[in-house]
Amino acid sequence: MNRTILTLALGLAWPLGIFAQSAVDIGVYNNEEGQVEVRVRPQENFNGIVSSMVFTLRWDKSSGATLGESVQTEEMSNAISINPSGPVRENGDHFYQVFAGFSFSPLTENNLSWTAGEETTVLKVPVSGKAEVEVVNDAWTAELANNGDFYVSLGGDDRTGIIYKSLANASDTDGTVVIQPNPNNGLFSFQFTTTAPTDLQIEIVNTLGQVTFTERLNAFEGMYRKEMDLTTQSNGIYYLKVKRNGEQSVHKVVYR
């Protein structure tokens, strides 16, 4: 059953007009246990039924990495059980794994609620080997046969937001660099926090290695935030490089 039919079927249980819920965004992070954490961030408080959720993780074939068995907390699994939808699939230079979950049980029945603007981990996926694991909407996920674009339904209504952090970088285990929105139309912001005086070097480069933005700061401490405008540049893939006291993390920025 495809998502459109499922949503219509679920919608029969809830009269139109009851739900005025705003969208739910999604992002991915690495944790210290070698797992990719998939997190959702609602734009409004929500404690009802997460009718369905679909997202796809992608990683490079050349990395040699594999995904382990995904895990959820008992409460989250009872609220919406999210599992691989079919096997790992191969396309071009990438592997893809689609995940899907469905539920008829309100979050409140499992002592859960989602708070506006706050992240909630819905799934953890172990990763063996070094890989940049992404949650993506791309040409492959958009194909009807794959049906893997990010999608979330609340109470039977489509409340799909944005992918606000698409990349869980293998070299970035602290999860503090946040890019919003990502993908974007050339306008975005990024931020991170340092808790001690840190020498920073920040660059944004394109796929040809050309630097479109650079900044150096000595002994910086606190929250760094930058509003970026790439609309004078060509759209495509860019890389945000953040070097802190000599250690660098790399984050993909998608300008559509």
How confident is the model at residue 246, as a pLDDT?
Answer: 80
The CATH number assigned to the domain holding 227 equals: 2.60.40.1930
Q: Are residues 139 and 184 both part of a single domain? A: no
Residue 173 lies in a domain: no
Q: What is the pLDDT of residues 168-222, one digit of tens each?
A: 654 444 446 888 888 899 999 998 888 788 899 999 999 888 999 999 999 888 7
If one counts the domains in the chain, the total is 2
Domain stops at, among 119, 147, 168: 168
Residue 70 has a pLDDT of: 95
Q: What is the span of the domain harbouring residue 43?
A: 3-168
The one-character DSSP state at 17 is T
pLDDT mean for each 10 residues of the chain (256 residues) = 44 40 88 88 94 95 89 96 96 94 95 93 90 87 94 95 72 62 91 86 91 93 88 93 85 89
Cβ atoms of 238 and 253 within 8 Å: the answer is yes
Q: Measuring CA to CA, how many Å separate 192 from each of 129, 173, 178, 206, 211?
A: 26, 13, 6, 21, 20
Q: Are residues 73 and 199 in the same domain?
A: no
Boundary of a domain, candidates 168, 200, 215: 168
28, 121 contact by CB (below 8 A): no
Model pTM?
A: 0.64
Q: Hey, what are 239's tokens?
A: 């890389």
Q: List helix spans (H) across 121-221.
A: 139-142
CB-hemisphere CA count at 13 Å for 246?
A: 0
Shared domain check, 36 and 112:
yes
